[in-house]
Amino acid sequence: MIFELTTTMFAGGLVGFSYYKMNGGPSNDHEKIVRIARNCGLVNKEGKEIRIFRKSKKNNYTEYVYQMPQGLSEKQFLDKINNFQDGLNIKKTTVEISFEDLRKINFRGDLFKQIKSILKKKKKIRKEVEIEFDGMIMFRVYNEPLPTMVPFENELIRKCTGWEVPVGEGRRGFLKHNFEKKAHIIVAGTTDFGKSNWVNVTINTLIKNKPNDVSFTLIDLKGGLEFSRYKNLKQVKGFATNVEEARDELQNAVNEMDQVTEYLLEKGFSNVKDAGFKDRHFIVIDEAADMAEDKECQRLLKDIARKGRASGLRLIYTTQYPTTETISSQVKRNCIGRLSFVLDTTTASNVVLDQGGAEQLPIIQGRALYKDIKLIEVQTPYIKNDIIKEIIQPHINIRPRKERVESNAEIGQEATKGRKYTPVIEETELS
Ligand SMILES: Nc1ncnc2c1ncn2[C@@H]1O[C@H](COP(=O)(O)OP(=O)(O)OP(=O)(O)O)[C@@H](O)[C@H]1O
């Protein structure tokens, strides 16, 4: 009896809601889009507004396509993306109660408590919007927002082959960056939004998938804390924590690059891939702004950015201060890969992505824009310290790097005979 009463009340609620909608309640998303555009001044001088051309429901979103009045631009709409998003989300809540929930009610127990706990399932829906121009202005309104957490797991590593690394979960699926296609990448973003985490995701994926072919030069100008855990890995060729050391390590990389280039020229190959070289050497710079004023570092970096691709060098260039001083035009031109977490200004976004957008990202750690043909919003994977520990542990070389380098250089020489190494295992705190 009570069950019938409850379900009747629920059904009555639904009817009431439909009646409310029919009689001028909240408008549908199409009407809201038109109204928001009008309120944002997206109307041309003749007073013409966007006009609906097509609406289509897809798997996880609805697409609204409008004719754009002459005189307006895609950029004007993109600049207002937050207005559209907020406008579509005003008071948008729903109660997720199924008949199954109602069936489970124990009518002999505390009914009030049980109904209260069902109502707690009330879920806030946050619709997210994408705007694109393709002759017409297109709004994609997604049913579900992007996740705010994508854990880095073995499954993600398995999705990457060769020199691919995870970029993140986008609205149309999982996105990867391929260092064979885009050799160098700029990673920018305001402090604390996920640059170092993404670099860790990249380093660990490469160590897992290419343990014998990958090598790194790690330049950590934020005091060495971020990369110290990798210092004694067999894959780490160079390690720098200040500008002087960075200069030396960059010079070593350039010397290696010149030798490889010479070999390629001699043998008539145009790049290491054609020559069948398996190795790739990643120069990872955490906070490039700290060497912006060092002329020698800048010269070496430009050289690597320009010639490194063909000779197997890969550049990962991160900064929280993207300006024309911290990212020189030559570095930028040669870093085709771009990933940006939230930035303060449109100007900063322009430096990294050649367009605005990063300044409008939601304030969510790990949320970023990846530049492909278009900008793609992603939630980057989050890697935990224990996973890093597990991946790198088998590769820690108990001899300090400097001695390893000397040892390599002396292989086959008399000098190595009877040499005593002191095994030093450096315990580093994982941040
Ligand atoms: N992909 C992610 N998903 C969820 N949370 C994340 C993600 N990436 C980073 N975070 C959170 O943000 C914090 C800061 O991340 P990270 O150190 O990578 O930022 P950063 O941009 O490198 O900052 P800084 O420029 O100060 O070094 C992390 O400790 C973590 O809590």
Domain residue spans in the chain?
A: 2-142, 150-416
What residues flank ligand 1, with Cβ below 6 Å? 149, 189, 191-197, 320, 365-366, 380-382
CA torsion, ordered 64, 68, 73, 78, to nearest 10 deg? -20
Task: Say if pTM beats, i.e. exceeds, 0.90.
Answer: no
DSSP β-bridge partners for residue 67: 51
Share of the chain above pLDDT 90, in %: 68
**Which run of H or E residues covers position 375?**
strand 375-379
- pLDDT confidence of 429, banded at 50, 70, 90? very low
298 Cα to the center of ligand 1, angstroms: 27
**pLDDT greater than 70 at residue 134:** yes
210 Cα to the center of ligand 1, angstroms: 25
**pLDDT greater than 70 at residue 323:** yes
Residue 10's CB is within 10 A of a number of other CB atoms, namely 13
Q: What tens digit of pLDDT does each residue of 198-226 get?
A: 999 999 999 999 999 999 999 998 877 88
Integer angstrom CA distances of residue 146 from 162, 262, 368, 375: 27, 48, 11, 15
- The residue whose two tokens read 């500008």 is 243
For the segment 88-108, the average pLDDT, to the nearest whole number, is 68
* Helix/strand/coil (H/E/C) assignment for every residue in 227-295: CHHHCCECCEEEEECCHHHHHHHHHHHHHHHHHHHHHHHHHCCCCHHHHCCCCEEEEEEECHHHHCCCH
Reported CATH class of domain 150-416: alpha beta
For the segment 214-240, the average pLDDT, to the nearest whole number, is 93
Rounded to 10°, the helix 81-89/29-39 angle is 130
- The residue whose two tokens read 């030559």 is 330
Q: Whose CA is nearest to atom 31 of ligand 1?
A: 365
Average per-residue pLDDT for the chain: 85
Integer angstrom CA distances of residue 403 from 213, 273, 281, 400, 407: 21, 31, 20, 6, 6
Contacts with 147 (C-beta within 8 Å, 6 or more apart), sequence order: 169, 379
- pLDDT confidence of 95, banded at 50, 70, 90? low
Cβ-contact 197, 383 below 8 angstroms: yes
- Residue 219 burial (10 A CB sphere; 0-12, 13-18, 19+): buried
Helix (H, G, I), strand (E, B) or coil at 107: coil
- pLDDT confidence of 172, banded at 50, 70, 90? confident
Separation CA 194–CA 344 (nearest Å)? 15
Cβ-contact 395, 235 below 8 angstroms: yes
Q: What are the DSSP calls for 189-202, one per residue?
A: -STTSSHHHHHHHH
64 Cα to the center of ligand 1, angstroms: 35
**Which of the listed residues 146, 190, 193, 380 should we mutate to test ligand 1's pocket, taking the one with most ligand atoms within 8 A of CB?**
193
Q: What is the pLDDT of residue 91?
A: 62
By mean pLDDT, which of 81-90, 127-136, 395-404 is the weakest? 395-404
By mean pLDDT, which of 9-13, 270-274, 367-371, 404-408 is the weakest? 9-13
Share of the chain above pLDDT 70, in %: 82
For the segment 357-361, the average pLDDT, to the nearest whole number, is 93
For the segment 348-372, the average pLDDT, to the nearest whole number, is 94
DSSP character for 145? Answer: P
**pLDDT greater than 80 at residue 41:** yes
**pLDDT greater than 70 at residue 400:** no
Spell out the long-range contacts of 3-6 with Cβ–Cβ below 8 A and sequence spacing 24 or more. 3/102, 3/103, 3/105, 3/107, 6/102, 6/105
By mean pLDDT, which of 5-14, 78-87, 263-272 is the weakest? 5-14
Q: What is the pLDDT of residue 426?
A: 38
By mean pLDDT, which of 77-81, 136-140, 214-218 is the weakest? 77-81
* 194 is an annotated ligand-binding site residue: yes
Q: What is the pLDDT of residue 393?
A: 96
* 8 is an annotated ligand-binding site residue: no
